[in-house]
Chains A and B, each alone.
Chain A
């Protein structure tokens, strides 16, 4: 089931939350687990076995790691086990249907066993509680990657105040609006331009397409994260923030501190630092960085363009580390933004084009090689979508929340969220474009 569907909004959500609030404290985790399994089984009944296996496996590994003296062997077994499951389903292509959310929950369970080994979290002995943590529906399919330590306390003690629920609900609706009002429209426009690349092209059109995709992926992904965080709050859990206005960045280094924070943090804590990080000399640091970005690329999908995409950012980050950041700091801030956005947009083009040939053609058109600067199509796309583009640009910065929403107080925010909800439902009803991006992750 996806959040941006009528059946989720109008049946699943009201029913599950109402029962959750009514049900006795002791049964809340069990109920949440059951609801999450229904949620997961709604779309992929067979894949639920993979998740159940992963839950049982990691539950046992957690206990063994905490009990046995030779914990390191157990740790290695658990890491190999988790990676094998992920690798088998994601990269071998034996199964046409990728178990949805597998990249997210595998990373969660893996970090759990590692944390238990490190002693930074206590082992969870109750399998229902553990299964609930892994399968919790708000973050199950598209993150954020919630580490066990983030919510360990809340498993037994949840703060379910009206204020938290109301604010969580608002956050959910903002996320829904990002997804349905912005991402879906931008996605449709990107697809239209991408599909017309062979018959109609110009520099402006290619850039517009790339910009639409840039907005689509941000509003889609951060919208899902907001919905997850909002629902987490409504259930009494504090999930970490996942996006912090990444398109406001003045460097690529900063971009990656603001984009999909839970993933970059994960790689930093469980790969980069254990490998030695920056403590073992420059050469080791570069190799460590390379490994992290290769894996980041791979994590996003089993295709070559994701690896190129990861290495692309590795190179940019390395250049920035070596000298580029120092130069950037000296130039006007506007140029820093332009620099960052330019490389972010190119990055998304690499991400979006899954075969080399279309990537080559697309980049060539963007560069103006054998393509006119403008054509009628591009002018049409620009002026008919100008308002949407401006709104998306404004809403991908801090501006609206800082200067409007936060100052108006709860009542006005509520009215705003009410309008967003009705508009989102109307767009969902109109059956317009509602693709789901994360089946590949």
Chain B
């Protein structure tokens, strides 16, 4: 019996020590692909940081992030939670048909914040010239469109009243309501493993946009845009929350026309790029960044189209797969992402004459975004 005790003690100490040995021996990792974020690094020791406790905190955080077999341990914890019968893990519902859907409940939406953002927007709309039309498109949350796929009785915030408020405050003609069309699509309008919409979803929104904006804009068929499957192994952001090994990856499609290939794109201070797609993103984890290489404060697109009409899109990442459909229709498109853009918007509008301005956000993002006030600058 004595030997069993000893063996048990030694075995457990070895189990505890193994991760530390690996962390010490292996080089530090900068980035976690599966989690889509930069990892904490071990800090250099400094007396003042030790005294304030900051050094210790940094070491603890780095040790957590650099932990050995981190992804496998994440998978194990997900299995345990699924065994418990949890239907949401890391703030994401495990929904029917292999969908992951972000869990947004009423308590996550601060209504006063939403109304405040609408006021900023409404102020912005009123400030524009008469010959500039401003349109707003608030994309419904995946959980709203795919309500039937949520786990039974799963709470999800009610956006109906929010849409009503938006339509009233912004006045109907400027508001493009795409709730119905997204619900009616037969194909997936949202990715199963990512929080964005698919090309089909973006196309459905494009059709509604065309109907609203008037006859100058042609309303082309989906096929005419030449959609091509770019990759079949897209594991999106929602998958990253649980790392469930049983997840099936998404296909990612993109349209391919002369314009997508030859448009000149200038993103923030980067070198001009010919073509709107970022091929390198396809071999990375976040394949949605294929569209324009991700989010930038300001992106200018010389489309090569001769319509002489310009478009300004103020947006979140949902616009990245939507804007390619509009390349034919405008000679110049500017995209502004308020999260990363800190110069006055009014200057952008005086510098270039825009025929249309489109505000495009997913509604729950829009409602809680802290940067909408920048519209008033």
**A residues apposed to B, CB below 8 Å:** 1, 5-7, 9-11, 13-14, 17-18, 41-46, 162-163, 165-166, 169, 173, 181, 185, 195-196, 198-200, 376-377, 379-380, 383-388, 391, 410-411, 414, 417-418, 421-423, 425-432
A residues less than 8 Å from B19 (CB atoms): 6, 10
A residues less than 8 Å from B64 (CB atoms): 5-7, 428-429, 431
A45 touches B50 (CB 8 A): yes
By beta carbon, the residue of chain B nearest A195 is B107
B56 touches A421 (CB 8 A): no
Q: In the complex, what distance in Å separates the CA atom of A99 from the CA atom of B98?
A: 48
By beta carbon, the residue of chain B nearest A200 is B106
Q: In the complex, what distance in Å separates the CA atom of A185 from the CA atom of B80?
A: 12
Q: In the complex, what distance in Å separates the CA atom of A203 from the CA atom of B64?
A: 39
B151 touches A46 (CB 8 A): no
Question: Nearest Cβ distance between residue B194 and chain A, in whole angstroms?
Answer: 20
Beyond A6-B19, A386-B85, 20 extra complex contacts between A and B, CB < 8 Å:
A5-B60, A6-B64, A10-B63, A14-B17, A41-B56, A163-B1, A163-B5, A166-B8, A181-B80, A195-B107, A199-B106, A376-B154, A380-B155, A388-B86, A418-B12, A422-B76, A423-B80, A426-B73, A426-B80, A427-B80
B residues less than 8 Å from A185 (CB atoms): 81, 84
Question: Nearest Cβ distance between residue A96 and chain B, in whole angstroms?
Answer: 13
Q: In the complex, what distance in Å separates the CA atom of A195 from the CA atom of B106?
A: 10
* Contact sample, A vs B, 6 pairs, CB 8 Å cutoff: A11-B20, A43-B53, A380-B152, A387-B85, A422-B76, A425-B73
Q: In the complex, what distance in Å separates the CA atom of A431 from the CA atom of B105?
A: 22
> B73-94: which have CB < 8 Å to A?
73-74, 76-78, 80-81, 83-88, 90
Q: In the complex, what distance in Å separates the CA atom of A10 from the CA atom of B22?
A: 11
**CB of B59 within 8 Å of the partner chain:** yes
Q: In the complex, what distance in Å separates the CA atom of A14 from the CA atom of B21?
A: 12
Q: In the complex, what distance in Å separates the CA atom of A229 from the CA atom of B115?
A: 54
What's the dominant secondary structure at chain A's contact region? helix
B residues less than 8 Å from A181 (CB atoms): 80
B77 touches A426 (CB 8 A): yes
Contact for A410 among B1, B16, B56, B151, CB less than 8 A = B1
Q: In the complex, what distance in Å separates the CA atom of A44 from the CA atom of B51?
A: 9
Instruction: Given A6-B19, A165-B5, A165-B9, verify A377-B155 contact (CB < 8 Å).
Output: yes
A residues less than 8 Å from B2 (CB atoms): 162-163
B165-176 CB mask vs A (1 if < 8 Å, else 0) is 000000000000
Contact for B153 among A13, A383, A385, CB less than 8 A = A383
Question: Nearest Cβ distance between residue A408 and chain B, in whole angstroms?
Answer: 14
B13 touches A411 (CB 8 A): no
By beta carbon, the residue of chain A nearest B66 is A6
> B13-32: which have CB < 8 Å to A?
13, 15-17, 19-20
**CB of B163 within 8 Å of the partner chain:** no
**CB of B353 within 8 Å of the partner chain:** no
A429 touches B84 (CB 8 A): no
By beta carbon, the residue of chain A nearest B63 is A7
Q: In the complex, what distance in Å separates the CA atom of A165 from the CA atom of B77?
A: 28
B residues less than 8 Å from A425 (CB atoms): 73
B105 touches A200 (CB 8 A): yes
Q: In the complex, what distance in Å separates the CA atom of A384 from the CA atom of B88?
A: 9
Question: Nearest Cβ distance between residue B135 and chain A, in whole angstroms?
Answer: 31
Contact for A421 among B6, B12, B51, B80, CB less than 8 A = B12
B85 touches A384 (CB 8 A): yes
By beta carbon, the residue of chain A nearest B109 is A199
Instruction: Given A426-B76, A429-B77, verify A9-B87 contact (CB < 8 Å).
Output: no
**CB of B219 within 8 Å of the partner chain:** no
Q: In the complex, what distance in Å separates the CA atom of A196 from the CA atom of B107?
A: 5
Question: Nearest Cβ distance between residue B14 and chain A, in whole angstroms?
Answer: 9
**CB of B221 within 8 Å of the partner chain:** no
B residues less than 8 Å from A45 (CB atoms): 50-53, 56
A380 touches B154 (CB 8 A): yes
A residues less than 8 Å from B5 (CB atoms): 162-163, 165-166, 410
Q: Pick from A162, A195, A417 the residue with the most CB of B within 10 Å.
A: A162
> B133-178: which have CB < 8 Å to A?
151-155
B16 touches A385 (CB 8 A): no
Q: Pick from B11, B52, B106 the residue with the most CB of A within 10 Å.
A: B106
B residues less than 8 Å from A163 (CB atoms): 1-2, 5
Contact for A430 among B8, B15, B78, B84, CB less than 8 A = B78
A residues less than 8 Å from B70 (CB atoms): 429
**CB of B124 within 8 Å of the partner chain:** no
**CB of B222 within 8 Å of the partner chain:** no
B residues less than 8 Å from A384 (CB atoms): 85-88, 151
B87 touches A14 (CB 8 A): no
The 4 tightest CB contacts between A and B, nearest first, are A199-B106, A429-B73, A430-B77, A162-B5
Question: Nearest Cβ distance between residue B211 and chain A, in whole angstroms?
Answer: 35
A10 touches B20 (CB 8 A): yes
B residues less than 8 Å from A162 (CB atoms): 2, 5-6, 9
A169 touches B8 (CB 8 A): yes
Q: In the complex, what distance in Å separates the CA atom of A377 from the CA atom of B154?
A: 6
A residues less than 8 Å from B88 (CB atoms): 384
B354-366 CB mask vs A (1 if < 8 Å, else 0) is 0000000000000
Q: In the complex, what distance in Å separates the CA atom of A427 from the CA atom of B90?
A: 12
A residues less than 8 Å from B13 (CB atoms): 14, 17-18
Question: Nearest Cβ distance between residue A423 and chain B, in whole angstroms?
Answer: 6
B residues less than 8 Å from A1 (CB atoms): 56, 60
Instruction: Given A166-B8, A384-B87, verify A376-B153 contact (CB < 8 Å).
Output: yes
Q: In the complex, what distance in Å separates the CA atom of A377 from the CA atom of B50?
A: 46
**CB of B4 within 8 Å of the partner chain:** yes
Q: In the complex, what distance in Å separates the CA atom of A425 from the CA atom of B68?
A: 11
**CB of B373 within 8 Å of the partner chain:** no
Question: Nearest Cβ distance between residue A5 and chain B, in whole angstroms?
Answer: 6
Q: In the complex, what distance in Å separates the CA atom of A268 from the CA atom of B1?
A: 41
B residues less than 8 Å from A410 (CB atoms): 1, 4-5, 8
A residues less than 8 Å from B87 (CB atoms): 380, 384
Question: Nearest Cβ distance between residue B317 and chain A, in whole angstroms?
Answer: 24
**CB of B67 within 8 Å of the partner chain:** yes
Question: Nearest Cβ distance between residue B67 and chain A, in whole angstroms?
Answer: 6
Q: In the complex, what distance in Å separates the CA atom of A376 from the CA atom of B59?
A: 43
A residues less than 8 Å from B78 (CB atoms): 430
Question: Nearest Cβ distance between residue A428 and chain B, in whole angstroms?
Answer: 8
Instruction: Given A163-B2, A165-B5, verify A387-B84 contact (CB < 8 Å).
Output: yes
A residues less than 8 Å from B6 (CB atoms): 162, 166
B9 touches A169 (CB 8 A): yes
Instruction: Given A7-B59, A385-B85, A387-B85, verify A196-B17 contact (CB < 8 Å).
Output: no
A residues less than 8 Å from B63 (CB atoms): 6-7, 10-11
Q: In the complex, what distance in Å separates the CA atom of A7 from the CA atom of B83?
A: 27
